[in-house]
Chain A
Amino acid sequence: MMRIEQAAVVSHEAVRGGYRVLTFAAPAIAREAAPGQFVHLSVAGLIEASLRRPFSVYAAEKERIAIMYKPVGAGTRAMTRLAPGETVSLMGPLGRGFPTEAAEGRHAALVAGGYGLAPLCFLARRLGRPGTVFVGAATAAVLPSVGELSALGWDTRTATEDGTAGESGLITEALDRWLAEAPEALVCYACGPNGLLRAVAERAARGGWPAWVSLERRMGCGAGACLACVQKVRTPEGTQWARVCRDGPVFNAAEIAWEESDCVAPTAENRTPARS
C-alpha cells in the first residue's frame, strides 16, 4: 500500500562510481518495499521542482530504506546536502517489482547498466541463492561496486567500454560469452538503459528463458494518474500503453513492444530514476 512518510536521513555516504547512498528511517515504507519497487522523493526547500524524484529501492531492512543515486541535475545536487536528522517526504513503495518466485529452480542472472545495479542489489539479498551478476559501465570511474554481492557469494562479472575495469567492451558481450555455457534453467533480471534491456529481451526470446526488465522513464506523479511515463506493451487485446510507474517499472521482457528509438542509450539528462 502506497504511503507518504516524513523520512529522516540516517546516513548519507559517497560510494564507488560517483554514486551516493542515502538511508532513511521510514518504517511503513521499508516494511512493505519489495525489490524493483521505487520511492518518490520530495526535498523540502526545492521549491522550483513541481515533481518528486523517483529512485529504485537499493535496500530495505526493518525500519530503514536506502536509495543509491548520482548527482546529475538540480534535484539530485540539492540532495547531496542532506545530512543525518534532516527529513524528506517519501512516497512509496510504488510500482510492481521483480517476481522473486520466478527464480525458483532457476539460476538467476542479474544484468545492470551503471546504477541500474541498485534495485538488483536489493533483489540479490532477497533471492537468497546466489547466481551471476553482470555490471557494465562506460569507464571504471562510473562503475558501481559489486563487493557486496561478491561477499554474498554471487559470481560477479564487470565490463567497461574503455577497458579500464573488468572485461573490455559492452556488458552484453560478457553476457553472451557466459550464456554459451550457462545453465539451461535460467532467469534474468535487468535494469539499465533501454538498449541494454532490449538486448537482454532479445537474448531471452532466443534462449527461451524468462527475463524481467526494469524500465527507466520520465515520470510525473509516480502513482499512475498523469500518464506521462507510458510504454507500449503487448496484450491479448493488442498493443496498449502501460504506465511504467504503476504497471511497472518491472515488466516481463517478452511483453515490451520495443521501438526503434529504444536502441538509443539514455543520457544523464533523459533517464528517469535520479533524473535531476
Chain B
Amino acid sequence: MSAEPDLTVDLAGIRMKNPVMVASGTYGYGPEYADLLDLGRLGAFVVKGIRIEPWDGNPPPRLVEVPGGLVNAIGLQSPGADKFIADYLPFLRAYDVPVIVNIWGRTIDEYERVAERLSAAEGVAGLELNISCPNIKAGGSSFGTDPRAAAQVTAAVRRRTALPLIPKLPPNVPDIGGLARAVAEAGADAVSLINTIPAMVIDTAARRPVLANVAGGLSGPAVHAVAVKLVWEAARAVRVPVVGMGGIVGAREALEFIIAGASAVAVGTANFRDPLAPLAVADGIRDYLVEHNFKSVRELVGTLRLP
C-alpha cells in the first residue's frame, strides 16, 4: 500500500480537494487569513453568513471563552449581498477553492432574495442555508427548530437556486433525523451540522450576563461528542451527504464524524487558535487512510461498527 489515498470529495456537485472545509463565521470573507496559507489548500471556503441587506449584529461583548470552547453572540453582522459580491467574492475567486456562501434572512422572502442574488454571481459553488443561528430571533433558529418551517424555507430557496443547497441544522431539536429528512425532502442537496448550542455565561461579581445579547451559542471541543451523536443520527436518516462539524481540533475528531457518516467536515473554533488547523486535519485524515488501507476517504464514510 504505497499509493497516495484519494482525499477528493464530491459534495452534491461541489468538488473538493479534501474533505475539510472551514466553518462559516470562523474564517471571515477571505482576506483575513490569506497571509498565512494558500486558501486553495482548503477543501472548501464557507463564507460568514450573508443577508440580502447589511446587518449590524449584536453589541459587544460578543464572545467569551469557557472551558473547552467559546460562547458567541456575534449576531450575524453582515456586509450585505451586494457588498460581498463586489468587495469579497473577486478575492476568493482568485483561489482554486469552492466558495460556499452561508446565507440567512429574517423572512422567507429575504432568504429567497439573497439566494437569488448569490446564484447570479460568478464564483459561488454552493449555498449553506443558515436556519439555526441561536443569536437571531427572527429567522435563525426559529426556522431551524421546527421541521415544517425548515422544510418551507428550504423549498422556497430551492425554487430560486440551482446551486447545491446545504441547510445547516441546529443541535437543540428533539429529532434531528426527522429535521434532516424534512429538509432533504424539501430539496436540500446535503445537510450540515451542528450549529452552536444555545448557552450563556454569567459574571457573578456583577450578576450580569457576560454577553450583551444575554445568551449565545457554544462551540469548540466541549460540543464535539454531542455533535458526533447528532451527525450519526442525521446520516442514518437521509441519503443526501452530511457535513459534520462541532469541536474539531485535530484529525481524530474529524475522523469520528466521517466514520459516523459525514462525507465532509468543517473546522470552526479551532481556527481561532490555529488558522492552519484545517490543513493539519486533512493531513491527519490522509495518514489515517494510509495506516488503515483505505484507497479513498469516501470508503471510510459511515463505516461505524456497532456492537
Q: Enumerate A24-49 residues with CB–CB distance to B below 8 Å.
A: 42, 48-49
Taking a contact as CB atoms closer than 8 A, the residue among A49, A89, A220, A276 that contacts B63 in the complex is A220
B32 near A: Cβ within 8 Å?
yes
Chain B nearest CB: distance from A53 CB in Å? Answer: 10
A241 touches B77 (CB 8 A): yes
Complex: chain A residue closest to B22, CB-CB: A225
Establish whether residues B32 and A224, one from each chain, have CB atoms under 8 Å apart when the complex forms.
yes
- Complex Cα–Cα for A159 and B294 (A): 68
Given the interface pairs A223-B33, A226-B26, the reply to whether A52 lies near B63 with Cβ below 8 Å is: no
Which residues in A have their C-beta under 8 angstroms from that of B63?
A: 218, 220, 226, 228-229
* A4 with B275: CB separation less than 8 A: yes
Assuming the contacts A49-B273, A50-B269, A230-B77, asked whether A225 and B57 have C-beta atoms less than 8 A apart, the reply is no
A230 touches B35 (CB 8 A): no
Among residues of B, the one whose C-beta sits closest to the C-beta of A2 is B35
B56 CB contact (under 8 Å) in A51, A220, A222, A241? A241
CB<8 Å pairs between A and B, sample of 26: A2-B36, A49-B273, A50-B68, A50-B70, A50-B270, A51-B70, A51-B272, A52-B272, A91-B275, A218-B64, A220-B72, A221-B272, A224-B28, A224-B32, A225-B48, A225-B271, A227-B48, A227-B57, A228-B60, A228-B63, A230-B60, A230-B62, A241-B57, A246-B32, A270-B61, A276-B65
Give Cα A205–Cα B264 distance, bound, in whole angstroms.
Answer: 54
Complex interface: chain B residues within 8 A of A270 (CB) = 61
Residues of B within 8 A of A198 (CB): none
Chain B residue nearest to A241 in the complex (CB): B77
Contacts of A246 in B (CB 8 A): 32
Q: Which residue of B lies closest to A46 (CB)?
A: B273
The B261-278 residues at the A interface (CB cut-off 8 A) are 269-276
Count of chain A residues near B, Cβ 8 A: 31
Contact in complex: B74, A225 (CB < 8 Å): no
Q: Are B60 and A229 in contact (CB under 8 A)?
A: yes
Minimal beta-carbon separation of B202 from chain A (angstroms): 13
A235: min CB distance to chain B, Å: 13
In Å, the complex CA distance between A140 and B272 comes to 37
Give chain B residues whose Cβ lies under 8 Å from the Cβ of A221. 26, 28, 32, 271-272, 275
With an 8 A cutoff between CB atoms, is A217 at the interface? yes
Alpha-carbon distance between A241 and B203 when the two chains are bound, in angstroms: 25
In the complex the two chains form, what is the Cα distance from A10 to B269 in whole Å?
Answer: 31
A3 within 8 A of B: yes
Q: Is the CB of A228 within 8 A of B72?
A: yes
Partner of B273, one of A3, A52, A229, A276: A52
Q: What size tier do the contact residues of chain B reach?
A: 35 or more
CB distance from B216 to the nearest CB of A (A): 11
| C-alpha spacing A222/B274, complex, angstroms | 11
Asked if B33 and A225 make an inter-chain contact with CB atoms under 8 angstroms apart, the answer reads yes
Contacts A1-B35, A50-B69, A50-B220; A220 near B272 (Cβ below 8 A): yes
> What is B's interface to A at a CB cutoff of 8 Å?
25-28, 32-33, 35-36, 48, 56-57, 60-65, 67-70, 72, 74, 77, 203, 205, 220-221, 269-276
Return B73 CB to nearest CB of chain A, in Å. Answer: 9
Alpha-carbon distance between A225 and B220 when the two chains are bound, in angstroms: 16
Tell me the nearest residue of chain B to A48, going by C-beta: B67
Query: Which residues of chain B have C-beta atoms less than 8 A from A227's C-beta?
Result: 25, 48, 57, 62, 74, 77
How far is it, in angstroms, between the C-alpha of A224 and the C-alpha of B60 when the chains are bound?
15
Give A185 to B204 CA distance when docked, in angstroms: 47
Decide if B273 touches A48 in the complex (CB within 8 Å). Answer: no
Give the chain B neighbours of A231 by CB distance below 8 A: 60
With contacts A42-B273, A50-B269 taken as known, whether A226 is within 8 angstroms of B74 at the C-beta atoms is: yes
Whole-angstrom CA separation of A218 from B70 in the bound complex: 12
Residue of B nearest to A4 (CB): B36
Given A4-B274, A230-B60; 19 other pairs, CB 8 A cutoff? A4-B275, A4-B276, A48-B67, A50-B65, A50-B221, A50-B270, A52-B272, A217-B60, A220-B70, A221-B26, A221-B271, A223-B32, A225-B48, A225-B272, A226-B26, A226-B28, A227-B77, A230-B77, A241-B57
